[in-house]
Amino acid sequence: MNAYIESVLEGVRKKNSTQPEFIQAVEEVLASISPVIDAHPEYEAANLLNRIVEPERMFTFRVVWMDDNGKYHTNRGWRCQFNGAIGPYKGGIRFQSNVNESIIKFLGFEQIFKNSLTGLPIGGAKGGSDFDPAGKSDAEIMRFCQSFVSALYRYIGPDIDVPAGDMGVGGREIGYMYGQYRRLKGVWENGVFTGKGLTYGGSLIRPEATGYGAIYYLCEALKHEGDTIEGKRIGVSGYGNVSWGIIKKATELGAICCYISGREGYVHDPDGISTEEKINYLLEMREKHTGVKAYADRFGCEFYPGEKIWGVKDVDIFMPAATQNEVELEDAKKIVDSGVKYYFEVSNMPTKADAQAYLREHDIIVAPSKAVNAGGVGVSALEMAQNSERLVWTAEEVDEHLKRMMINIHNASAEAAEEYGLGYDLIAGANIAGFKKVATAMMEQGVF
């Protein structure tokens, strides 16, 4: 690896020694762009990499809220405005008890390159709180969201920073947060959050976008391999909003999604999660926090408590869509044993570094989440465009844009890897293509 990159990495490891997720994300991106740094000495001359690994701004804030029994609770909130070179900061908000600074920072860092890949003018950001929405009443969620935005609203805006959903934050939470923003500012700035409800500036297809986009990208990669999605069996981990979109689109295109999983284990539905009733039930499970076993109970299929899906032998494609680092080295070994050819990451950084290396060494085609899941934030940017134009696009229009975007992301990644003599390397290609645009913008805007 390039000596300049080595020195930057050493600094990152030292400065962020308590942030393993962040270090992991930086290591992957910097390793990928090594040939670009070799070819562009001006980046080293401007010491660009030491700037790109440091958030432009990151802050924490106190979020106090009252539960239904009148008791007060204090949580911590974060927003990381990582890089605004190519557009207003953009990225989701995650509510989950395990959220910490390292997780927010790695997600913000990934978001820079993901957002760049969409081809749209959005910078990279992420935020969240260690608040756990599971088991909270609607009124508690509302009070928490209002308190969260009371602390954040001064630092966001349609041309400043545009938050959206992520794990634990869906349409309901965005509604409460948008409402509080409007109440505090007294303006109708409906481009300030994305993932809004359809009655107040939300975009059609936004709820489906991450999953649909992942399948459009997959289809393009299959085409590259002279293959098609029809008849393929797909193992999806997770059962949230993203998994729902994947399953809906994959089923429509003739694939069979026969596994879903949750923290408590996985479900095998050999017929596929293929009927409208089954697919819609996923939404109900998410809303009611039922756990994944509820699916097995309802549709009479097998539930495997405490197990992950990676050992199953009857799928052609794995799509991890649950959370970061859900696939460890021992899981990767099982995936290789299962004989699958395709492993498409959907959740952000689902694969531990050694596990990812193992999969690649064994000739599995691995696609990175920052490319595969970019359709979500991509349609968020389309929502911002609709808001600023004060009009509403049809579902077909949005879907058409999304499809084109995902094809472009795949092709731009494949071409970038090819250009640097790396072959069909979708991970390096995505990092290189995403990096180049941001790096050029940073160089042109001068040193700061």
Query: Mind telling me the catalytic residues?
Result: 126
**Encoding tokens for residue 347?**
């959740």
Q: Where are the alpha helices (DSSP H) in 186-321?
A: 206-224, 241-252, 276-288, 293-299
Q: Which residue is nearest to ligand GLU (CB)?
A: 92
Beta strand 123-129 pairing with 72-83: antiparallel
The side-by-side arrangement of strands in the sheet containing 233-236 is 302-305, 265-268, 256-262, 233-236, 317-319, 342-344, 365-367
Residue closer to ligand GLU, measured from CB, 174 or 312: 174
Element (H, E) at 330: helix 329-338
Residue closer to ligand GLU, measured from CB, 26 or 192: 192
Only segment of 23-31, 90-98, 227-235, 298-306 that touches ligand GLU (CB under 6 A): 90-98
Identified binder of ligand GLU from the candidate list 83, 96, 146, 194, rule CB under 6 A: 194
Q: How far is the CB of 362 from ligand GLU (least distance, A)?
A: 28
**Encoding tokens for residue 248?**
């809906």
Q: How far is the CB of 70 from ligand GLU (least distance, A)?
A: 33
Element (H, E) at 365: strand 365-367
- Fill in the amino acid letter for 350: P
Closest to 374 (Cα-Cα) out of 122, 123, 114, 116: 114
Backbone angles phi, psi at 178, to 5 degrees: -65, -45
Residue closer to ligand GLU, measured from CB, 164 or 257: 164
Identified binder of ligand GLU from the candidate list 16, 83, 203, 348, rule CB under 6 A: 348
What span, in angstroms and rounded, lies between the C-alpha atoms of 63 and 336? 45
Residue closer to ligand GLU, measured from CB, 128 or 262: 128
Identified binder of ligand GLU from the candidate list 28, 166, 269, 345, rule CB under 6 A: 166
- With 0-12 / 13-18 / 19 or more C-beta atoms within 10 angstroms meaning exposed / middle / buried, residue 66 is middle
Residue closer to ligand GLU, measured from CB, 160 or 336: 160
**What does the angle CA 348 – CA 236 – CA 263 come to, to the nearest 5 degrees?**
75
136 within 8 A of 166, measured Cβ to Cβ:
no
Identified binder of ligand GLU from the candidate list 376, 401, 410, 430, rule CB under 6 A: 376
Q: How far is the CB of 373 from ligand GLU (least distance, A)?
A: 6
Residue closer to ligand GLU, measured from CB, 338 or 413: 413
Residue closer to ligand GLU, measured from CB, 28 or 166: 166
State yes or no: residue 377 binds ligand GLU (CB under 6 A).
yes
Only segment of 84-92, 222-230, 270-278, 291-299 that touches ligand GLU (CB under 6 A): 84-92
Site for ligand GLU in 392-411 (CB under 6 A): none
Residues sharing a CB contact under 8 Å with residue 90, sequence separation 6 or more, in sequence order: 111, 115, 122, 123, 124, 125, 161, 162, 164, 194, 377, 380, 381
Annotate each residue in 20-59 with x if it binds ligand GLU (CB under 6 A) or - if it does not, as one string.
----------------------------------------
Q: How far is the CB of 374 from ligand GLU (least distance, A)?
A: 7
Q: How far is the CB of 205 from ligand GLU (least distance, A)?
A: 12
Identified binder of ligand GLU from the candidate list 55, 84, 92, 240, rule CB under 6 A: 92
Identified binder of ligand GLU from the candidate list 52, 103, 141, 164, rule CB under 6 A: 164
State yes or no: residue 345 binds ligand GLU (CB under 6 A).
no
Element (H, E) at 353: helix 353-361
Only segment of 299-307, 310-318, 376-384, 420-428 that touches ligand GLU (CB under 6 A): 376-384
State yes or no: residue 90 binds ligand GLU (CB under 6 A).
yes
Only segment of 86-94, 275-283, 334-342, 354-362 that touches ligand GLU (CB under 6 A): 86-94
DSSP secondary structure, 377-432, as one string: HHHHHHHHHHHHHT----HHHHHHHHHHHHHHHHHHHHHHHHHTT--S-HHHHHHH
Residue closer to ligand GLU, measured from CB, 165 or 429: 165
- Fill in the amino acid letter for 197: G
Using DSSP's 3-state secondary structure scheme, residue 124 falls into: strand
Query: Which residues contact ligand GLU by CB under 6 A?
Result: 90-92, 164, 166, 194, 348, 376-377, 380
